[in-house]
């Protein structure tokens, strides 16, 4: 049976992964780019944050550095795609693949780092409250940005590139900006999650794309009339609660190792039921 602490932990992790969902939404929905960089940039953010904290710097500064690290990954994907004409999917896969080595370099060749004795953002108060504050700040930022003239230009590149260019939008620059911004969000998510769980492992970013996509799709299904970013957060929390319920409730004899299978089946189920409008 799912206990209250397990449910609370699921909500906290859901909120943290909501940042990832916002990043995925920005590429997959806003600029319409199937970006696979995030499996690598998630760990880049986590690794940069862990190293900065271990060096004794402020954990919030570590979040900003993580955004920069993840953003650079996205920027590189954008440059490969726009200027070197490498296909959308392949440019993301290549950068994600290369980031594995970069991440090991950042972590000093050790595949994992622990932060148990270090001060993290979660040392300052209730994790749920801190996660909520970060989410509110990020959602407000993106909700504002996408309603500016610049944000409208960014959105238009994903909806209708020919129209965007004819309206004076530099589509290539917007695409690169969108990828960098999205991966900056993924980096922040990696950093926040690492600080939450107190360690960083070089392989923990695997599957982050699928988790992010699941959150976006569930959110759109649950709250399609609300702000898209609020829907992403709600989708992420709902996804975590569902997974926690499935794993901890002993229904169908599911165990932790079944997580990926359950996630995949959940996405298939939601997509099958998703109405097209």
Partner 1 sequence: MLKIKNLNVKNVLTDLNLTVNRDEFVLVVGDNGAGKTTLFNAISGNIKPKNGNILIDDRDVTDMPPYERAVVVANVFQDPKIGTIGSMTIRENLNMAYMRGKKRALSICNSAERDKLYREKLRTLGMGLENRLDDCVGNLSGGQRQALSIIMSLITDSKILLLDEITAALDTKAADRIIEIMDENIRQQKKTCLMITHNAKQIDKLGDRVLVLKNGHL
| 156 lies in the binding site for partner 1 (CB under 8 A) | yes
Which x/- pattern, by CB under 8 A, does the window 115-144 give for partner 1? -----------------------------x
The correct pick among 97, 124, 150, 269 for binding partner 1 (CB under 8 A) is: 150
DSSP class of residue 55 equals T
Identify which of 43, 24, 42, 44 has the alpha carbon closest to the alpha carbon of residue 34. 24
DSSP-assigned letters across all residues of 170-221: -HHHHHHHHHHHHHHHHHHHHHHHHHHHTEEETTTTTTHHHHHHHHHHHHHH
Between 146 and 222, name the residue whose CB sits nearer to partner 1. Answer: 146
Query: What is the closest distance, in whole angstroms, from the C-beta atom of residue 107 to partner 1 in the complex?
Result: 35
Query: What is the closest distance, in whole angstroms, from the C-beta atom of residue 277 to partner 1 in the complex?
Result: 9
| 83 lies in the binding site for partner 1 (CB under 8 A) | no
Between 5 and 168, name the residue whose CB sits nearer to partner 1. Answer: 168
The answer to whether 215 and 21 have CB atoms below 8 angstroms apart is: yes
| 166 lies in the binding site for partner 1 (CB under 8 A) | yes
C-alpha span between 255 and 148 (Å, rounded)? 46
Between 151 and 207, name the residue whose CB sits nearer to partner 1. Answer: 151
Phi first, then psi: what are they for 144, rounded to 5°? -70, -50
Instruction: Pick out residues in 169-188 that bind partner 1 (CB under 8 A).
Output: 169-171
Q: Which alpha helices (H) appear in 26-87, and where do they start and end?
A: 38-54, 59-82
Which residues of this protein are in contact with partner 1, per CB under 8 A? 144-145, 147-153, 155-156, 159-160, 162-171
């Amino acid at each position: 049976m799912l206990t209250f602490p397990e449910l609370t932990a699921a909500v906290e992790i859901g909120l943290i992964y909501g940042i990832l969902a916002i990043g995925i939404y920005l590429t997959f929905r806003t600029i319409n780019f199937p970006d696979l960089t995030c499996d690598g940039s998630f760990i880049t953010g986590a690794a940069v944050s862990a190293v900065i904290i271990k060096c004794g710097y402020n954990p919030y500064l570590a979040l900003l550095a993580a955004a920069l690290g993840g953003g650079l990954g996205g920027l590189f994907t954008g440059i490969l795609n726009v200027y070197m004409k490498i296909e959308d999917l392949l440019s993301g896969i290549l950068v994600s693949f290369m980031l594995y080595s970069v991440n090991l370099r950042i972590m000093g060749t050790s595949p994992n780092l622990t932060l148990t004795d270090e001060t993290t953002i979660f040392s300052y108060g209730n994790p749920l409250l801190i996660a909520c504050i970060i989410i509110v700040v990020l959602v407000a930022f993106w909700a504002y940005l996408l309603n500016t003239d610049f944000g409208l230009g960014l959105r238009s590149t994903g909806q209708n590139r020919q129209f965007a260019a004819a309206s004076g939008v530099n589509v290539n620059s917007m695409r690169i900006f969108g990828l960098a911004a999205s991966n900056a969000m993924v980096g922040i998510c990696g950093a926040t999650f690492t600080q939450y769980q107190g360690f960083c492992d070089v392989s923990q970013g695997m599957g982050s794309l699928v988790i992010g996509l699941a959150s976006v799709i569930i959110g759109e299904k649950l709250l399609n009339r609300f702000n898209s970013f609020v829907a992403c957060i709600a989708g992420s929390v709902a996804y975590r609660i569902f997974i926690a319920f499935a794993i901890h409730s002993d229904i169908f004899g599911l165990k932790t190792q079944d997580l990926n299978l359950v996630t995949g089946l959940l996405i298939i189920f939601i997509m099958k039921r998703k109405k097209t409008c």
